[in-house]
Amino acid sequence: MTILSTRSKEAIKTGLAMAISYGIALQLGWEKPSWAGMAVAMISLSTAGQTINKGAMRMLGTLVGLGAALTFLARFSQDRWLFMVTVSLYVGFCTYMLTGKKLVYFWFVSAFVCMLIAIAGGADSQNAFYTALTRAQETGLGILVYSLVSVLLWPQSSAIRLNDVSRKLFTTHMRLYRTYCGLMTGESAGKEYRGLRLQEIQLLTQFGQILNGAQTDTYEVWEVRHQWQQFQEQTTVLMETLERWRESLAGIRELNLTGLLPNLKPVCLEIDQRLAQIERMLNGKDPIQVPGQVALIVEKDLVNKLNHFQKAAVAVTKAQIDHLQDISRSLFDCVQEIKGFSLHSSIPNRIGGRSLGLALDPDRLAAALQVVLTLWIAFLVWVYIDPPGHAMFVFFATLLTMIAAMMHQSVSLMFMPFFYGSVFAGILYVFVMPRLSGYTELGLMIFGVTFAYYYLFWQPRQALIKVAGMACFIVHTSIQNQQTYSFAAFANSAAMMQLACTLAIAISFVLASPRPEKTFLRLVARFFRHSEFLMSRLALDRDDPRGLANRWQMALYRNDLLEIPAKLTILGQRIDYRLLSGQTSEQVQMLVTSLQALAYRIKELVEVCELPQADLLVEAVLDDLRAWRLTAQELLRLWADDPALAALQSAEIRDRLVARISRLEAQIGETLCDVEEGKLSEGEFENFYRILGAFKGLSESGIEYSQIAQGIDWALWKEARF
């Protein structure tokens, strides 16, 4: 007996749903059966839950987009310029939202459906309403048919994949924790952490995608959905805390940790056991024991003999380990409830930093602006030149730019998939379809084409080829009950696609070069400009910003600073290193890792500067802190403006930072000698040392970045290429 592979099953399900959708639409005499087929092609995913979830997003987005389009037509149908302004603002807003992390597909569908109805309807309200009604019923048909097929034929539950990915994710967390423990005690070099770190990020992204489907197709997951969402949030916090802990290890590696923190090993072992029990529960086994709480003890007599930055390093390490204890306890309670090992049910307490509030993303704003610009230029080309496809030229050019924004890809990558897709669809339209008789033969062709695309291009990286091919097949064949064949119509449609794609590619170069290496340089420069601004606002020698605009700008920059390294990681994978002689992806990954360390250090500085401070100590070292800050700002500005010059001066940069830190340490020593005993509380001392640790850690991260940046040929990256 032949056992079909998952790849074959999914291709069969999609082909069957496509043929059934077309058959029902043609039998009922509906005017646009291709819209039902397009819905099937777009929502097909590997599990029933993911399919239903995406289908719901498509249906909801369709209804919202229809409502928006009809509202705009009713309100502004007599003024086409005001109408276009309103539509473009709506499309721009949807584009900004779809480039985020929540309801991406909903916003995408809402935008393109609004455009489709607005452009197809024109000033004829009756035609617009009829088009909207047809779109809604065809889309609903496609979603219903594929959802039923995915549920009834070889159904796959997302719950199994959810459990599998959660186990792999937490196992990666445990391996990173044990690696960093070895780094702290000197028992291991910990060279494997970079690979584990990348795997951790990929699994966390995959977990979020699967969770949405599992909540839909598995009732057991739906019942504890809040706990699963909390698990996702807490594992993200755990990832950040582990990384910040690793970055702080350099300052304590040479210290006698056994003496300074006498129960460090029992505390680390307790955290390790708690993580092991969490992993055990994720594997479906009862926890052997409920871990207790062991407070980390600091030997104050030995700590007092250290220099001030060593004291700061000990204070920072203690804070990180205490935070790890809190997160591991919260995760233990959360997983206990998810797996049903807890006697009570509640939503665990949130462990993490404060929300940064409303913070706009510059890259998402740029993507929205590019989509709006494409819409307007395509509209003007339609009005004054009238290209092939007429109004659909406007729709398709804007749609391609939106797809590129949603997939975080360059529009130029879409040209060849749509070209080859048009050629293949043209062969079927001209040579095959005129010879077909009856829906049996037509249905077999629809099934065969769909099966072939979904079987051959099944890998995630081939999604663009698959989607472009199916879209060209559906659009160019234009299957209807009263089927007509016209090579001129096909040629006109194919030319429209290629011209629209060419226009979208040309517009992508208007704002800035879309090449990955150029975008990489822009993001690095923006990272350091934002870092310089935050340094100027977060120093201890400056009053807290009181203005609303200033606080909003700080929130925007802080949020962007934490997002940029993740964007750079994606860009680093897309760079063609054959064009950058001598540069490797490993070098770029190390550079991105050092930038991530800088971002965490600045975030840590933000947090510790908000702690109650010892004013006496701060005032005593105010001049030295100001000198350090001005030096750091100057270096950040240099890295932003001219990375090549900064790389050449890396040795001088390191010397200046080390000199400032040494001078600051000497001044602190003189100040503490003059402080009367009992004048400062223990908490003020600890907070002050944590602040010093943040300053020292930021300097060390800056030095590390300068060393890595020295190996990058920045001038080669800036060269223009055609």
Residue range 361-383: average pLDDT? Answer: 93
pLDDT of residue 683: 64
Residue range 69-76: average pLDDT? Answer: 88
Given a cut of 70, whether residue 396 has pLDDT beyond it is yes
Of 125, 96, 106, 92, give the one whose Cα is nearest residue 43: 106
For residues 35 and 257, the model is more confident at: 35
Q: Is 491 helix (H, G, I), strand (E, B) or coil?
A: helix
Residues 48, 215 contacting (CB under 8 angstroms): no
Given a cut of 50, whether residue 226 has pLDDT beyond it is yes
For residues 496 and 715, the model is more confident at: 496
pLDDT of residue 31: 84
Given a cut of 50, whether residue 355 has pLDDT beyond it is no
Q: Percent of the chain scored above 90 by pLDDT?
A: 24
CA 433/CA 120 separation, integer angstroms = 27
CA 333/CA 330 separation, integer angstroms = 5
According to the 3-state scheme, what is the secondary structure of 312-342?
HHHHHHHHHHHHHHHHHHHHHHHHHHHCCCC
pLDDT of residue 451: 95
As given in the structure block, the two tokens for residue 491 are 């040629």
Q: Is 416 helix (H, G, I), strand (E, B) or coil?
A: helix
pLDDT of residue 27: 92
For residues 244 and 501, the model is more confident at: 501
Q: What b-and-e string marks burial along 102-131, b requiring 16 or more CB atoms within 10 Å of the CB?
A: eeebbbbbbbbbbbbbbbbbeeeeeebbeb
Residues 685, 614 contacting (CB under 8 angstroms): yes
What letter does residue 77 receive in the DSSP assignment? Answer: T
Phi/psi of residue 385, nearest 5 degrees: -120, -35
Query: Per-residue pLDDT tens for 176-216?
Result: 898 888 888 777 665 667 677 777 877 887 787 788 767 76
pLDDT of residue 188: 66
What's the mean per-residue pLDDT of the chain? Answer: 82
Could you give the C-alpha distances from 91 to 84, 512, 531, in angstroms and in order?
10, 21, 32
Q: Percent of the chain scored above 70 by pLDDT?
A: 85
pLDDT of residue 498: 93
Question: Which residues are CB-contacts of 469 (< 8 A; sequence separation ≥ 6)?
Answer: 417, 420, 421, 424, 425, 453, 457
Residue range 39-48: average pLDDT? Answer: 72
Query: Per-residue pLDDT tens for 511-541?
Result: 888 888 888 999 999 999 988 888 887 655 5
